[in-house]
Structures are given as structure tokens and as C-alpha cells.
Structure 1
Amino acid sequence: MTAKPPRAKPLPVEDRRAMLIDATLPLLLEHGNAVTTRQIADRAGIAEGTIFRAFDSKDDLIDAVVARQVDPEPFRRRLRGIDTTLPLEERITAIVALMRNRFTTVFSLMSVIGHRGPHPSDDSRREFAEIIARILAPDLDRLTVSAERAAQVIRMLTLAASVPHVRNGPEFDDAEIAALILHGIDGIPAPGPMTTGPTRAETSLPASAPATDSTLIPALP
């Protein structure tokens, strides 16, 4: 009589949770909150009831998917891994590539399920600026702005290029965004430091000027 192969050991709860989060993200992007636990189970290759051994409800699972995507630390680790010996243009392009991936995924998720999760703190923004300062440190004397201001510009332009209804036109690739950040549209460095106050155009906007829906644009990182 042929012996039956031993049954596979059940996954630890944390591993099962991670596997379900991985399986659920693409389904959420496709179906939004209408995704079913049956679809999630089929994608994960498990019985539907197995989901509830890891999460109390579908909403708990969705919250876990969102929490992973908005968690800034994995993104920060990748930023810290950028080689500071690369040419400045390549470092900026690497920053942009990481930010675009983060913005695009989180914005796509929020656009189909609505805003969920906490807003980032001032400490989170400061940490981002400090990381960018370290990446740019070898070339700060080339820049016409402070490292903190450079971090703001990088984030602002990358966000605008990543959100379709803000971009309102053809997509930009990472190198093009990096070139715009470094050289603008005329390729000539700015003649002096940028001011931190409002521009003339900003101060002349009417009170009724339309605003972008801030509930859908993630305040990242």
C-alpha cells in the first residue's frame, strides 16, 4: 500500500495575512470595495473560510492592504538605498521612480475605495526631507535651493505627474520628470534662490478657484 504524502504544514498567521494582502491588492484596484471574499480566496488559491482565520472581516483585510501601501518605511528604505556616488541626474531619476510607483499605487487604490488610513505627520515629511538631503548632499553647491526646498519640489512635481487628472495630458517618464526638476523647461538654471512665499499667481487666485480633491490625493510620503 502506497503511503500518503504528509500534509503540508499550515502557514503561520502572519504569513497567511501577508499572502492574503498580496492577493487582495490587484483585486481591489480592479473591483474596489465590491471585491468579494470568494474572488480573494480564488486568487490566493485557498478556501474562502481560510480568510477568516487571518482577518475578522473583509473590511479588516482591506484596511490591512491600505496600511501596507501607505506605510512610509519600506519606501524610505528604498530611498536610503540610492547610491550617492551616482551622477546627480541619476539620483534624481531614482528618487522620482520610487515616488511615482508609490504615488501611482496609493492614488489608484484610494480612487477606487475612498480615503482610508491616517494622514502623514509633520515628522514623516521631515524624515523624507532629511533622506533627500542625504541623497543630494554631494551636489548641494550646484543647487539654487536648500535641500528641504528641493525635497518639496521633487515631491510636488512627481505627484502632479503621477495623478492623471492633475497631469491632464500625456504621461511623463522618470527621466523627463527628473530633467524638469533639475533644469525646468528651458534647460537653464534659475538665476537665484527660489522664495518660499506665495507667487504672484497664487496671491491673485480668486476665492472660488477650483481645488483638487485632497481626499483622493494621498499626502505622501
Structure 2
Amino acid sequence: MTESQTYSTPEGTPYIPIQTKSAEQIYLTSLFKSDAQNMTNLMSTESVALALISPPWPYTIANAEWWINNSLSGKGDLPICAIRAGNPGPEGKYIGGLGVIPQDPTGFYHLPGRKPEGWEGEPGSRNVEIGYSLLPEYQGRGIMRPAVRAAVAWARRECGVQDAIIVVAEGNEKSRAVVEGMEEFVKMEGSKWETWPESKGGMRRECWSWVWKA
């Protein structure tokens, strides 16, 4: 098994096995409709949700269902965007997200042969932003760094992605530790300020970026 090598379930769903310290086999997979409850559990974990600017708070199962349907329709992250334990199919447990998010305005159309309806131009930036979250009980098992490496390698190989960027906000020490522990990423100069929604306190937080240099 080589890093980021893609396999398929009997139903034809792609997945990537990840080598970690976990006793359970960990996979990168697509989302399944049955992930809604576990996704809600993850994004209802205060320490996870309040560190992220975009997900709604409080987070409901309707939010999870919307996100999953959006992803499955091709209007969300690139398709391998779930971290799963035990089995690469819907029988496996959704334990986290690893979003590979296109940054260009044509968005979500990096896969070969996919373009927005009626659009005739060339794709814009092939850059993606990487976002990740993991259930607290699975943290500390050496999962996230190999998962990020595999996701970036897959996205560059299969989807024509150029640069991958990770943005971390002030105070998000666990997320920062992940990217700072990966020699493939280099910190970019400067920072930017983002305002969190009122439901999450409305504070302005300084954010730093790292870019894949491998």
C-alpha cells in the first residue's frame, strides 16, 4: 500500500487507506447520507465547532444533511473528504472531516470533465484550502497528518490541484500543531483577520496560512 493510493469499494466508491497509530483501520472516503448523525455529533462538540468560522452554531442534523447533499451533488469539497474508521463504506464510522475546498470562483469543478453548466472558459486557480476536524476521542492517534498528506497527494494527482493551503486561527493550537509538524508545508508571510459570527462570539481573530511546498 503506497501513500494516497486509491481503491474502490464493491459499490465503486473511492477510498484511501491511511496508516496511523489507531487500532482501527482509518480511511479517507467520500461522504454518505448515513453520516449525518455522526457529523452532527462532531460539529456539536464545542471545542471543534467554535474553532471553525464557517459551520453554523448550534449545529443540527439538518445542517449535516444539507452539507452531505451539497457534497454528493458536486457543489462542495472535492469528493474524498471524510475520515472514517473500521470500514471504507457506509458501515464505517464517520470520525472527522478533511475538506479539500477549491478556492477559484468556478469552484468545485476540478475533476476531469466537470464544468459549471453553460460555462465555456478555462478553470481559474487550481488552489485548494484544506480544513480538518476530528472527534476528540480519536485525537492523539496520529491520524490527521498522514490523512492530510494523502488528501493533498490525491488531489494533485487526480484533480489537477496546484497549491494546497491551510489557514489556522489564533488559539486553535491543535490545528496549528498538525500543520507545524509537517515539513511539506511552509508558513506564509503576514496574517489576516477574520470576524467570527455572532453565534460564535463575534470576535476578530488573527489567522495564519501555510502552503504545501512539496
State whether TM-score is above 0.5.
no
TM-score calculated relative to the size of structure 1: 0.28
Higher helix share: 1
